[in-house]
C-alpha cells in the first residue's frame, strides 16, 4: 500500500489545485474527525444529497442506512433476494466530509473565504450482506461517533441486525482539499480601514444530558468526559 | 405566499416522516444558521458533491462558484457565450445543509442516533448574469457568513465581478428534517448498566486572529465581537 491515493481526472480539481492532497494519512485524519458525511447519488437522473453517518476501517468506509433507505434499496441486490449474485451491481456515489475551521475576512469582499478541510470520495457503494462484516461495520459506526462506545452498549440482536442496512465504499478514488491561513488581500487594499483576519470555528461538546430514565448510580464514562 | 412549501414525491422521506417539515420559517431558520452547503450535481452520469458557500435572499439561494467551476460551467449559458438565450437550461442540483446538535447515546448500539437539523433543496441552478443581481447576491453571500460584513469591506470591482460566478436556486421543492430529544431505548434495556443520554454539539467561534499586516489601530468591529 502506498502512502498516497492515485489522482484521477475526477479528483484533480479544476481550481485551487495547490489545495488538493492525496496523502492517505491526511485523508484518513479528515475522515476520522467527523461522523456525518453528505452522500450523493443519482435518482431518476437527478442528484440527491443526504446527510448520513459513516465509519472507517482501513481503506473502507461504512455508511449507515437509516437516512438513506432509497440509496440502500438501489445499492441492494446480493443477500437474500439474489443469493446467486457474486457481486451486487452497486450504486455510484460521491461521499463528502467537510470541516469548517475558520472564517477568513479580507478587506475586499472578493477575497473573503473559509478555512476548511474536506474529503471527496467517488466510488460504488454496495450493501453489506455478510453478517460478520455487518457487525464489525456497526461497531465502527458507533465508535466513529464516540470512540470506545461500542464496548459500552448492548450489541445489536438478530432482529436489529436484520433491520439495519449498511453500505460499503472503498477508499480508492479520493482526494482532500485544505485551506489554511489568513486573507489574501490585494496589496493596494492593505491600507483600507477594515478589520481583516480569521475567526476560528470549532466544534465543541456541551455538558452531557442524562436520559430521563437514567440511573444516577451510573457515572459518566471516561470516554465521554474527554470529549 | 403560503407559510409552507408544497411536499413533493422527492421531499417526502421514505423513513421517519414525523421528522419532516415543510414550514417556510423553519426551513429559512436552518438555512440561515450556516453558510456552507453540500451541492450535488450529476457529471457524466455520476454524482458529485462539493462543499460550497451560499446565501439566501427570500425564497432564493445563491451559491458561490469558487469551489464549483465544473457545475458553474454546466449551469452556464446565458451571458456572453449565448446572448440570445432567454433562459439558460440550468443544472439540476440537490443542495443540502446539516447542523449536528447532539450525539444520542442509547443503551443499545441499534438506537444510537444524532440530533440534527437538515434542509434538502431540489431544483435547477442557473448562473446569475444580471450585474445588479450579481452584486446583491455577493453581498448576501458575505453577509450570510458574517452579518453586516458586506458594509465593512471593499465591494467587488468590475474585474472581480467578471471573475466571480454565482448560481441562483429557487426554494420551491424543499424540506427540513429535525431530530431532537433523548435516546429511544427499548423498555427491556432500561436497566442495562450503560450511561445513556445526549452530548450536545455546538459550533463555537474562537478569538479573532488579525491578519499579519493588520493595522492595530483598527478595532474589532461589533459584528465580530458578538459571534
Tens-place pLDDT, residues A170-218: 999 999 999 999 999 999 999 999 999 999 999 999 999 999 999 999 9
Give CATH for domain A17-225. 2.30.110.10
Inter-chain CB proximity B40 and A153 less than 8 Å: no
Check residue A12 and give its pLDDT.
Answer: 87
Q: Which residue on chain A is closest to B11 by alpha carbon?
A: A48
Report pLDDT digits (tens) over B206-224.
999 999 999 999 999 999 9
Quick check: B47 and A47 CB within 8 A?
yes
With b for 16 or more beta-carbon neighbours within 10 A and e for fewer, the B192-212 pattern comes to bebbbbbbebeeeeeebebbe
Per-position b or e across A23-36, b if 16+ CB within 10 A of its CB: ebebbbebbeebbb
Contacts of B153 in chain A (CB under 8 A): 105-109, 112, 194
| Closest B-chain CA to A214 | B196
In the numeric block, which cell numbers belong to residue A64? 449507515
Q: Which residues of B touch A106 (CB under 8 A)?
A: 153
- Residue ranges, chain B, pLDDT below 50: 67-68, 77-85
DSSP state of A216: T
Would you state the pLDDT for residue A164? 86
Is pTM beyond 0.90? Reply is yes
Distance from CA of B90 to the nearest CA of A (A): 13
Write out pLDDT tens, residues A90-123: 999 999 999 999 999 999 999 999 999 999 999 9
B27-74: pLDDT as tens digits? 999 999 999 999 999 999 999 999 999 999 999 999 987 544 566 666
- Which residues in A lie closer than 8 A to residue B122 (C-beta atoms)? 46, 48
Q: How far B132 CA sits from the closest chain A CA (Å)?
A: 16
Cβ separation A224–B195 shorter than 8 A: yes
Neighbours of A151 (CB within 10 A): 12
Task: Tell the residue number behind the cell numbers 474589532, with chain if given.
Answer: B220
Whether residue B201 and residue A204 make contact (CB cut-off 8 A), yes or no, is yes
The ipTM value here is 0.92
Burial (CB count <10 Å: 0-12, 13-18, 19+), residue A191: exposed
Count the neighbouring beta carbons within 10 Å of the beta carbon of residue A212.
Answer: 10
The answer to whether B95 contacts A202, with C-beta atoms less than 8 Å apart, is no
Amino acid at each position: 500500500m502506498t502512502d498516497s491515493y492515485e489522482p484521477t481526472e475526477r479528483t484533480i480539481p479544476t481550481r485551487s489545485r495547490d489545495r488538493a492532497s492525496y496523502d492517505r494519512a491526511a485523508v484518513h485524519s479528515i475522515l476520522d474527525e467527523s461522523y456525518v458525511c453528505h452522500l450523493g447519488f443519482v435518482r431518476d437522473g437527478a442528484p440527491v444529497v443526504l446527510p448520513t453517518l459513516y465509519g472507517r476501517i482501513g481503506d473502507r468506509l461504512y455508511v449507515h442506512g437509516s437516512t438513506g433507505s432509497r440509496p440502500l434499496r438501489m445499492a441492494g441486490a446480493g443477500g437474500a433476494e439474489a443469493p446467486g449474485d457474486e457481486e451486487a451491481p452497486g450504486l455510484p456515489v460521491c461521499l463528502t466530509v467537510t470541516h469548517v475551521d475558520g472564517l477568513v475576512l479580507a478587506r475586499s469582499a472578493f477575497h473573503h473565504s473559509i478555512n476548511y478541510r474536506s474529503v471527496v470520495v467517488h466510488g460504488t457503494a454496495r450493501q453489506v450482506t455478510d453478517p460478520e462484516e455487518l457487525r464489525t461495520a456497526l461497531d465502527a459506526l458507533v465508535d466513529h461517533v464516540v470512540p470506545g462506545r461500542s464496548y459500552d452498549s448492548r450489541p445489536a440482536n438478530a432482529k436489529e441486525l436484520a433491520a439495519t442496512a449498511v453500505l460499503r465504499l472503498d477508499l480508492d478514488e479520493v482526494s482532500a482539499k485544505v485551506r489554511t491561513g489568513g486573507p489574501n488581500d490585494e496589496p493596494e487594499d492593505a491600507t483600507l480601514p477594515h478589520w481583516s483576519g480569521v475567526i476560528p470555528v470549532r466544534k465543541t461538546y456541551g455538558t452531557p444530558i442524562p436520559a430521563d430514565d437514567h440511573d444516577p448510580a451510573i457515572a459518566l464514562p471516561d470516554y465521554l468526559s474527554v470529549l
